Structure 1
Amino acid sequence: MFTGTTASMPRIQTPRLGGTTGASASRRASRSINADAVAIETDAVTGATAYVVADGVGDHLLGARAARTVAAAAARSAAADGARAGILAAQEELLREVPEPSADSVLVVAVLPAADQPDGPCEVAWVGDCRAYRWNGRVLHQITTDHTVAELYRTRGLASTPRMDHLVTTSARTVRPDAIGYAATGSSTGRLLLSTDGVHKPLGIAAVKAILAQGDAAPTIANTLVDAALLAGGRDNATALVVDLPFRPGGTHGG
């Protein structure tokens, strides 16, 4: 497992887990602290690997503590019991360990199957506006749907304001089990991206796709995404976790 947030230059983590390589990068931008967190854990029994990116709510130490708490708890539980279980474990841990109501976080969890299960699905669960994308070499698919007021308005055919894109409707502290976002996708070759809104909102999907399509290694891609978000005017903490998925003979090769 690892967690990593940095105030300026990122620390890059590149664990090799069953042939899968993951690397993260993070910048503080104009915030006073970096309240993002990253965690990865492989379960010794299931062989599954959980990847988590969390974004603490607010520009204060309680937000940073909440993000670190939920990222670690979600990775540990999701690797053993699945992505939804990771979100529920994160909520339980946050309520127990950081009871202050202002300590909260949003997060996204992706669980990849063990290396000896090439046809197993990739599970993704989330609350808030952290995202998961899959790039299969041709198409960039946004797996998650933001839990924001703006997205709620759009689904109802109503006009939204830019501010609504930053108002989340679920969080680790408040989410009900039936409101947890969930999706399953084939465990194909390509790249998986988990990001905080400080990356994907300044960039947009076309820029994210162009960067993921580059042939550079995961650490370089993670850094490029974060740097590009800040150059595009991003002011929020920006964190990207890039996972290069190995070729799995007999596996699914779709997006």
Structure 2
Amino acid sequence: MNSHSEPQFSWRSYAVSHVGKVRKLNEDACLDRPEVGLWAIADGMGGHSAGDLASQLVINVLSKIKPHAELSSLVDFVEHGIISANTRLFDLAAASNQTIGSTVVTLLCAQGHCVYMWAGDSRLYRLRGGRLQQLTTDHSQVELYVQQGLIRREDASAHPAGNLVTRAVGASGELHLDLDIGRLAAGDRFLLCSDGLIRHVTFEEIESSLGEPSAELAAERLLGMTLSRGAVDNVSICVVEVV
């Protein structure tokens, strides 16, 4: 991509993570690096604080990535970073004989484009022209059930298998990240979130909330709704506005 021919954008972003109303430990972690054009959310899993360790390890790796003018270079470093985190978590799980893993969803913006990568059921949405679109597809058991026609999508969030992911950082020796790319447009609003938000907030409520005047107001409105409805899981929200 030729950076001279692409439109130049900047962004405003806001991230918040909350333990919720039931859990004692927050196993989510957020990354908010507008100066790099990089945002991420990780949702850890595993007993005895292993989930906290897993999500923090993923985010710590991404927090050390330096700015790159070329989007392709940034993508390479992020992908390699997540894969290195996968190896470390998989080896740690084997050594301690326990499950240690984390979901991850990342958004990278540069040169008029965005690239997003994910593993697990943390999601990325985009609001453009007042219309919301889910850009990621969950790597989860209930998503497979929906695709196979075994359950209706509107029943998925309440399904007993709702917390079972089919892909995660650290779950296996080899990690396959899904990746997609799109063009940016002025006024785009992106939402990265853990599944703790999706359990309590509808698609229509996300669409409405992302229309708030600022990224901070949008994120705090979504968090407020989640907490008012019981917040049975940790909840993490990152809103990115393209300007």
Smaller-chain TM-score bracket: 0.7 to 0.9
1:146 aligns with 2:148: no
Label 1:60 to 1:192 Cα distance change in 2 as closer, same or farther (>3 A).
farther
Residues 83, 124 of structure 1: 8 Å contact kept: no
Label 1:102 to 1:59 Cα distance change in 2 as closer, same or farther (>3 A).
closer
Q: Deviations over 1:179-228 (max 9, x none)?
A: 4222222222221110001112210211111100122x222221211111
* Aligned partner of 1:23 among 11, 14, 20: 14
Residues 199, 229 of structure 1: 8 Å contact kept: yes
Q: CA deviation at 1:57?
A: 1.0
**Gap runs ≥5 in structure 2:** 1-8, 66-72
Give runs of aligned pairs for residues 232-247 of structure 1, distance below 5 A. 232-246=229-243
* Aligned partner of 2:221 among 216, 221, 224: 224
Label 1:51 to 1:220 Cα distance change in 2 as closer, same or farther (>3 A).
same
The answer to which of 204-213 and 173-182 deviates more is 173-182
Residues 196, 236 of structure 2: 8 Å contact kept: yes
* Aligned partner of 1:163 among 160, 163, 166: 160
Q: CA deviation at 1:19?
A: 2.9
* TM-score, with structure 1 as normaliser: 0.76
Q: CA deviation at 1:177?
A: 5.6
Q: Deviations over 1:11-65 (max 9, x none)?
A: xxxxxxx7312211121111011111012447xxxx8522110011146422111
Label 1:136 to 1:176 Cα distance change in 2 as closer, same or farther (>3 A).
farther
Label 1:59 to 1:220 Cα distance change in 2 as closer, same or farther (>3 A).
farther
Letter in 2 for 1:66: A
Q: CA deviation at 1:85?
A: 3.6
Letter in 1 for 2:189: R
Separation in 1, partners of 2:47, 2:200: 18
Aligned to 1:104: 101
Q: CA deviation at 1:95?
A: 3.9
Separation in 1, partners of 2:38, 2:60: 10
Aligned to 1:137: 129
State the SS of the aligned residue for 1:163.
Answer: coil
Work out which structure has the larger RCO, using CA pairs closer than 8 Å and 6 or more positions apart in sequence: 2
Residues 33, 60 of structure 1: 8 Å contact kept: no
1:56 aligns with 2:44: yes
Separation in 2, partners of 1:185, 1:177: 26
Separation in 1, partners of 2:175, 2:30: 25
Separation in 2, partners of 1:110, 1:140: 16
Letter in 2 for 1:163: P
Give runs of aligned pairs for residues 1-255 of structure 1, distance below 5 A. 19-29=10-20, 30-41=22-33, 49-58=37-46, 60-76=48-64, 79=74, 81=76, 84-95=79-90, 100=96, 101-113=98-110, 117-118=111-112, 121-159=113-151, 162-174=159-171, 179-189=176-186, 190-215=188-213, 217-246=214-243
Residues 123, 185 of structure 1: 8 Å contact kept: yes
Q: CA deviation at 1:165?
A: 2.1
* TM-score, with structure 2 as normaliser: 0.79
Q: CA deviation at 1:153?
A: 1.7
State the SS of the aligned residue for 2:103.
Answer: strand
Residues 15, 239 of structure 2: 8 Å contact kept: yes
CA RMSD of superposed structures (Å): 2.6
